[in-house]
Amino acid sequence: MSNRKLFLIGCLFLGGLFNYSYAISPVLDENDSTEFFELDDIDAHKDFVSTKSFVRDTVDIYSNPACELYNYSWTSERLNPYRIKIDSLPDSVFINCSDFVYPLRSNHVTSNFGMRKYRYHYGIDLGVKIGDTIRATFGGKVRIVDYERKGYGHYLVIRHNNGLETVYAHLLEVLVNVNQTVKAGDIIALGGNTGHSTGPHLHYEIRFLGNAFNPTKLIDFQTKKLHKKDYYITKKDTYSHAKELKAMAQARYHKVRPGDNLSKIARRYGVTVKQLCKLNKISPNSILRVGKKIRYK
Ligand SMILES: [Zn+2]
């Protein structure tokens, strides 16, 4: 029997036993498009040891939350290995958020999700005191624990059973390991100021199939509660920032050199000084510092 068939038998066997489900309908078989594949449930792991032989030659779906949704991908190598564009996301996906726990003590938002000058801020920043406990927002499994000196500092990524992934960055210390199963509310790290950070804070991201969305769509940071326990991810609302991302991807910059002025830069790229001023939020008389980036598209 082929590995594919063995895997399908395993999936169908498990289908009736798991508690979570999601409203995307991954097709197990071309003739079986109505079948909902059920998501992994951490509490159910121990009950299924005897069924492991069904899938021993395939991806270990027991340890890969939301495996079908993520096309069985489970890697600690990259934050977003999925390469799924927002345009290609399903129109509406049900996310079961019933086990939510707010991730820290503070509800003080120090920086919002959204456009920055030359890059996009894919998370929300929340004030912490160094050493504050940071908790997993939903149950799932730790996919990445890593350190980026010029970026996230100490950070971790959890794949949740409900299909979301969350990122916790600039930590003092991570207290869990890759492949560790966590429950919502488990202490996973201590807040800090590591990496590219100008003060102690938690950089918190929520991603779905690799694409970050504004955590305020799901969480009311004032009250530390969810807006709703059942959340539907939609391209229209959840990813309402898609236009900004597209515009940013198309943006082009000129690095100011000695002797440059706005007229010269405008001529070079076939635009007007007025357009440059609007794009860069500067006045025609602004002094251009050598090395500064001027957006021309
Ligand atoms: Zn941030």
Encode pLDDT of 245-259 as tens digits: 988 888 899 999 999
CA of 123 to the centre of ligand 1 (A): 5
* Average pLDDT value for the chain: 82
Dmax over Cα atoms in the chain, in whole Å? 74
CA of 162 to the centre of ligand 1 (A): 24
Residue 187 pLDDT class (50, 70, 90 cuts): very high
Residue 72 pLDDT class (50, 70, 90 cuts): confident
pTM listed for this prediction: 0.73
Give the percent of the chain with pLDDT over 90: 64
**The pLDDT of residue 5 is above 90:** no
CA of 121 to the centre of ligand 1 (A): 6
Domains of the chain, first to last: 3-74 (no CATH), 96-239 (2.70.70.10), 251-295 (3.10.350.10)
Task: Please compute, for residue 192, the number of CA atoms within 13 A of its CA located in the half-sphere on the CB side.
Answer: 20
CA of 151 to the centre of ligand 1 (A): 10
CA of 247 to the centre of ligand 1 (A): 21
CA of 148 to the centre of ligand 1 (A): 14
CA of 257 to the centre of ligand 1 (A): 31
Lowest mean pLDDT among 21-25, 203-207, 214-218: 21-25
Bridging pattern class, strands 140-148 and 153-160: antiparallel
- Highest-confidence range of 23-37, 51-65, 205-219, by mean pLDDT? 205-219
